[in-house]
């Protein structure tokens, strides 16, 4: 009883502290203020193909940071509720931008309901951002198979071991799954799970953003015309 009341006193003290803390917890970001001065982006700089323009910027980005292929993938439910997460770009060409994931994950479910997505790259060392929007489809099974087989055995088994985006009881669940799979398959003959593979985002729109002084940034967009050509437009920053 005495012990119980001590816990009660202690508990109330923490909850008072918690509420004071909550009320006072506010922070500002005023110290983070940066001028962007490195480059400019002009219409005459642009490649006629947005894919080639992306390629030129990607080649510059890869020199100066780890994982320049990390990008934000935004999806939305059928009724328009968005969600975003980081994924890795695994390839691109004039057909689109390819990433790999679990088709039954939250993103997979959203893409099934609503096959539109946005991609976002931020390359701070170049003061650049690229936005890409388009329609999404699964890549051909043979292409997903080939990529899956190029991954290390641990990653291949990991794709089987993790029911991505599902609630699990503990970390041990994953470790036990991996242990059982390793005992069963070793690193041989690990086929691609049917619920795992690639998505290709086929762009209808690109925006290339270059930071400039005084917040007068350059924003040049490529918008796909109905005849398959790209129209270039400058947007106000």
Ligand X SMILES: Cc1cc2nc3c(=O)[nH]c(=O)nc-3n(C[C@H](O)[C@H](O)[C@H](O)COP(=O)(O)O)c2cc1C
49 touching ligand X, by CB under 6 A: no
Distance separating alpha carbons of residues 21 and 6, to the nearest angstrom: 22
15 touching ligand X, by CB under 6 A: no
User: Mind giving me the DSSP string for 118-149?
Assistant: EEEEEEGGGTEEEEEEEEEEEPPHHHHHHHHH
User: Binding mask 152-191 vs ligand X (x if CB under 6 A, - otherwise)?
Assistant: ------------xx--------------------------
Token code pair at residue 144:
């997903």
192 touching ligand X, by CB under 6 A: no
* CB of 58 vs ligand X, minimal distance in Å: 16
Distance separating alpha carbons of residues 184 and 186, to the nearest angstrom: 6
Whose tokens are 């001065």? That residue is 37
60 touching ligand X, by CB under 6 A: no
User: Binding mask 84-123 vs ligand X (x if CB under 6 A, - otherwise)?
Assistant: -xxxx----------xxxx--xxx----------------
Greatest distance between any 2 Cα atoms in the chain = 81
Report yes or no: 144 and 150 within 8 Å, Cβ to Cβ: no
Residue 45 or 104 having the CB closest to ligand X: 104
Residue 1 vs residues 6, 11, 15: alpha-carbon distances, Å: 9, 15, 21
Query: Which residues are tagged catalytic?
Result: 215
200 touching ligand X, by CB under 6 A: no
* Interface size with ligand X, residues (CB under 6 A): 16
* CB of 96 vs ligand X, minimal distance in Å: 16
Residues that bind ligand X in the complex, under the rule CB under 6 A: 67, 70, 83, 85-88, 99-102, 105-107, 164-165
């Amino acid at each position: 009883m005495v012990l119980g009341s001590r816990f009660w006193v202690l508990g109330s003290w923490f909850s008072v502290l918690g509420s004071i803390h909550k009320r006072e917890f506010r922070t500002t970001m005023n110290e983070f203020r940066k001028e962007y001065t490195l480059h400019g982006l002009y219409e005459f700089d642009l490649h006629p193909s947005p894919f080639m323009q992306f390629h030129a910027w990607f080649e510059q980005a890869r020199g100066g940071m780890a994982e320049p292929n990390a990008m934000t993938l935004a999806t939305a439910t059928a009724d328009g509720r968005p969600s975003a997460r980081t994924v890795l770009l695994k390839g691109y060409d004039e057909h689109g931008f390819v990433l790999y994931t679990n088709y039954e994950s939250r993103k997979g479910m959203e893409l099934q309901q609503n096959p539109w997505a946005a991609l976002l790259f931020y390359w701070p060392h170049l003061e650049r951002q690229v936005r890409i929007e388009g329609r999404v489809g699964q890549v051909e099974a043979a292409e997903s198979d080939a990529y899956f087989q190029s991954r290390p055995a641990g990653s291949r088994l990991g794709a089987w071991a993790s029911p991505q985006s599902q609630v699990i009881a503990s970390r041990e669940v994953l470790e036990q799954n991996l242990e059982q799979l390793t005992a069963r398959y070793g690193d041989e003959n690990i086929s691609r799970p049917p619920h795992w593979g690639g998505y290709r985002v086929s762009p209808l729109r690109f925006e290339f953003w270059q930071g400039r002084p005084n917040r007068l940034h350059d924003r040049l967009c490529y918008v796909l015309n109905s005849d398959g050509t790209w129209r270039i437009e400058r947007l106000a920053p």
